[in-house]
Structure formats: C-alpha cells, structure tokens
Amino acid sequence: MTDLPTPARTRFAPSPTGFVHIGSLRTVLFSWLWARHTGGQFLLRIEDTDRKRYVPGAEEQLIASLQAIGMQWDEGPLVGGPHAPYHQSQRLEIYQRYAAELEAKGVAYRSYIRGDEIEQLNQERVERGEPKLLSFRDLPGIDNAARAAAGEPYTLRLAMRTSGQTVLNDLIRGPIVFENATLGMPDPVLIKSDGFPTYAMAAMVDDHEMAITHVLRGDEWISTSPIHIQIYEAFGWQQPVWIHVPIVLGNDGKRLSKRHGDTSITEYLDAGFLPEAIINYLVLIGWSYDDKTEIMTIQELIERFDLTRIRPSAGVFDREKLLHFNGVYLRAMAPEVLVQRIAPYLSRAGIISAAPTEAELARVAQLLPLVQERLKLLSEAPETLDFFFVRPQSYDLGVLVPKKTEPAQVVQVLQAAHAALGQLTSWDEASTEAVLRQLTEDLGLKVGQVFMALRVAATGRTVSPGLFETLVALGQAETLVRLSNAATALSPSLVVS
C-alpha cells in the first residue's frame, strides 16, 4: 500500500434524485473506510446540476441516511470546509473558467447544432449505411459563425482523441487500454446550452479542486472512463487513484434490484436493522479481511480495511444473511444499550410512553434477558415483549386447550395452579418450577399438557420465553389474575351432563 497517496481524500458525490439504496451504500462505505483508515478526509458533494432530474427533498434524505448509518463526512453540506461551496449548482463560475481554458487550448469547441438536428443527421447517416456522428463541428448545413453572431445557444464539447491510446489504471484490475481510433464515442458535452456543466466536466473539475486522491465508483463507469481521463490529461492534472468497484448482485445472480431488497437505507433502519450490522455485512460484499473473519466492529473495519483486498468480481447481497448479522449484534449488545435502541419501537407500539420514564426503561431492561437471544430485528421487540405489559384480552380456546386434553382438564389445571402458586411465599424460578412439576404429577397429566396451558393462559401465545422465567417476570399477583381470566374464558365451553 506504500504507493498509494495517504492520507486519502475520498468523496461521496450523489445527485439529489433519489434515496441512498443498500446496494449503492456499499461503494460509499468503501470510500468512507479508506479515508478513516488513512487518517484522511471523506467529503460529501451534492451534484445538482441536472435540474430536470432534481427531486425536492432528496438531498435531505441523502444527508439523513448518512447521518443515521453513522457515516459522518469531514467536508460538505452542514459542516463546510476549505473547498466550499459543496453544491455544484453554486460552482458554475468555476466550471466556466476551466471550460474557457480547455477552449483556449483547442481541446474543446463550441457546437451550435441543436439536438433535433443531430437526430436528423444521424438518421440520414444510418439510412446511407454510415456511422453516427462523433464530431459536431464543421457540419454541413450548420453555419456556426452565423449562429454565433445571432447569439444562439451552444454547447461546449470535448474533442476526443482519434489516435493513440487512453489507459485507465485501475487499482484492482490493473491497466485497461482503450484504442482511441475505435472508441466510437461522440465528442461529449462539457457545458450544456443552459450554461450548466455535465457530470464529466463538473465531477472532474471538483475532484481536482477538492484534491480527491481516490475515486471509488461502480464498474459501470469503466466504459466512459476515457472521457474522464482525457479531461484530466487535457488539463495536465495528476489523476486520482481509480477504483472501479464490482456491482452487487441479488442471490439469484441478477443485478440487485428492489425485489432483492435494494431499497433505501432508511427503510432498513426503520425495519430494525442496526447501523453497525449493516456496515459490517455490506463491507464483506466484495471485500474480505481474511478467509474466516466476518463479525467486526466499525473500529476494527477501519483498522483493517485495505483497498487491494477488494475483489473485481461481483458480490452478492443476501437479506437473510444480513438478518443473521443483525441477530448476532443484537445478542451481543449490552442490555443498557439495547434498551435505548428498542425504546422507540416500544413507544410507537404504545407499550411504553413516547418519552419513557426511568421506571419504564428499567422494566424493559429487566425483561430483555428473557427475549434478547431470540431477537433478530429491533422491530420485533414490541411483539416479543407486549404480553408483559398488556394482559391477554381474549383467548383462542383451540390453543388454550392442548392436544389430547379436554377443556375440563385445563380448567382443573388452571384452578389448581392458581391455588398452588398463590400459596408461594418466595416468587422465583426454582419455587414456581417445583410447585408446577408437583402439580403435574398430582394431576396425572403430561408436562406438555400442563405447561402449554399455563403458558397460553399467562401470555396469550404458544411461544414465549421459558415458562418459569415468564411467570417470575410477570409477578405473582399478575400471574394469578391471568390464570383466573383464562379459566373464566374456558368455563362456558364445558358441557355439563
């Protein structure tokens, strides 16, 4: 790694046209980790020059997504920096100045031909069996001088080289050589007729101006890299280190899409995924520390991240594996931390207050050890814990009465358990277990018949934490009330002969 410039300056330069999706976040994460690993800077730049595609509110969503996932930037909107402004729409004068330099050098030219005229000429050329236009100056029927004199709008285009080679030196793929004579690329627009720059112009100028040392982007940009490289070479600038990250696939081997779970990062966070689990999992799509280590803290990822370990082959996103990672993180989380993480979900479900009291949080902390091993998402907490806070309002009698058990037997179990548990002077797991096991033996029933009936009576469900831990957590008085309510619910179903 000694040949790479450090400390690194990397950037995330989104256009405000949508959300940060789980798949695109992976490339951003690589940039952020490399900046942190080298003690450098990670920049956020808003590329908002395409006003037709601008979506109101998208920038705020992008910023909120990065903040929520914990990927803070060192320069950019909200924090400022020495290269402000960080919105391209506020940097037009800079682009115009550099465009004039390229025009003065003769590597860029003004083109007065309109888009509809280009379309018409290309159609005629195709009909004649000729290739489409690559250059847009000195075209038949287009009087540039007259149009300039009339003050008509024009575009500024880069004159792509037609001989020699353009070489993309990609860090993880090595040199990729393009023969200029066979590129077949139309001279790209640098400045549009409305005075706004295109991506190629603005991004290259900004990366140079902001001293970006490493550009990490998706490998779909490889094909248009000759444009960007020739812009750098036209200015005589040192190029950044190019790293073209492979695409992310779904588990069916096809490009990641919404049906694979490629939705906004905020949707994953709202669903109860932890930022640290998301980061840990995503960084392993196309990168590895070694052949066995998977679970790593963010600090460990920062310390271990190495650009040269990015694989050039496509990685696979599997939501089920992300869910597994999330469960691992939840199970390892300290209860006092987990309480704070799940509190918003419990509040939204009405289980605790919107502004939880200390007593409410203490109660949740007391209950967490009973369910923490089973949690895979923060959003599962309300369903997992609600019965501790709210009594069953009704019972499914088909569930309350276990298989091969009669309703009268269940009433007998509930009444006997109520009496036996009510006599306990020590309410702990050992005492409740001893009483209920003796009760099962006295009634001549199987453990499953008795314990399932008691579980459903106490919780309203067939799946819960261990029966004795649950009863202890509910408390003696509350347990007795619930057993009584279940017996009352069941009694009307008895047939008196």
The answer to whether the beta carbons of residues 350 and 384 sit under 8 Å apart is no
Q: Which residues contact 306 (CB under 8 A, 6 or more apart)?
A: 1, 37
The answer to whether the beta carbons of residues 29 and 69 sit under 8 Å apart is no
User: Which tokens is 261 given?
Assistant: 């779970």
Per-residue b or e along 49-84, where b marks 16 or more CB atoms closer than 10 Å to that residue's CB: bbeeeeeeebbebbbebbeebebebebbbeeebebe
State the catalytic residue, choosing from 52, 192, 258, 404: 258
Spell out the SS3 assignment of 213-256.
CEEEEEHHHHHHHHHHHHHHHHHCCCCCEEEEECCEECCCCCEC
- The SS3 call for residue 489 is helix
160 φ/ψ angles, rounded to the nearest 5 degrees: -65, 140
The answer to whether the beta carbons of residues 443 and 416 sit under 8 Å apart is yes
What Å distances lie between residue 64 and 27, 69, 352, CA to CA? 18, 9, 26
The answer to whether the beta carbons of residues 171 and 308 sit under 8 Å apart is yes
What Å distances lie between residue 124 and 58, 111, 137, 201, 212, CA to CA? 41, 20, 17, 30, 44
The answer to whether the beta carbons of residues 338 and 371 sit under 8 Å apart is no
In the chain, the largest separation of any two C-alpha atoms, in whole Å, equals 109
- The SS3 call for residue 286 is coil
Smallest CA-to-CA distance from 454 within 469, 496, 442, 444 is with 469
Note if 258 is an active site residue: yes
The answer to whether the beta carbons of residues 418 and 484 sit under 8 Å apart is yes
Is cis: bond before 226, omega within 30 of 0?
A: no
Active site residues: 258
